[in-house]
Structure 1
Amino acid sequence: MEHEITRNRMKAFFEPPETVVEMELRKNHFLLAPSNMEELNEVKARREALLKTVCKVCNGKLKPAEQQMPCACSYVFCKQHRKPDTHLCNIDHRQMGRRKISKVIIVTIVLLASSFVVYYVNATFTRID
């Protein structure tokens, strides 16, 4: 009696068998190439949606807040792999930072120079009567 295998015990340890129709649908879904551009675009959209919900390195599921913070390489990562050196990012973040700083410095110098020129021009051309 103890060693009898009942249907309920089988359900506890094994997933229920799929029907032949379900098996064929899964098989065709994964193995058939798209036949037209619409199907290809649909497959690409599904793949992109999947890539936005899992970490690129460890394939761990991401929380919604983590999904909104992509790296400069346009992938999303979990907390452990978010830093560029942990996911071997191919973007040179140091050079990007240097470019941003140089642009800010140039704009600041131009603004300061233009405000100085305006102040200087106003000061030199005022008449005292």
Structure 2
Amino acid sequence: MTDLKLLALDSEDLEVVSAHVQDAVIRVSDMGYAKGDRRFALLMNRFDWSTGQPRGKGVRKRAGMHFNAVNHVAYAGFDPAAPEGVLELLAIHFTPSDAPAGTIELSFSGGGTVRLGVDYIEARLADLGAAWAASAKPAHSLD
């Protein structure tokens, strides 16, 4: 199994990263903002949609992701101080404001969001080596 390493430098790249992290499970305590470094980072257990196991439950992999050039972070729909909290990542979107600056939004199931004000898009995703059989394959209602 090959480890995934991706770099996003524009909104199209970010859409590719978003597809690879869809349904990732993230502990609230595993994400944070390093204001001095202008970096927002998170660890996740991502579902590996690329393994192509239509009948099996699939594979989860431990991965890390960070965003650079972050000038502010806003949380909504969950308590960022609740270390036991667990979120399921649905998508990552970019909305430009004063190009190349804009807002990167991480959307979670249940309506939670993290909004990152960025000077430009620079995101890195990397698998960290650990992989295991998923307990279930994520499924979404089309409603």
**TM bracket, shorter-chain basis:** under 0.3
User: Between Structure 1 and Structure 2, which shows a larger proportion of strand residues?
Assistant: 2
TM-score, normalised via structure 2 length: 0.18
TM-score, normalised via structure 1 length: 0.19
In our comparison, the structure showing a higher alpha carbon Rg is 1
User: Between Structure 1 and Structure 2, which shows a larger proportion of helix residues?
Assistant: 1
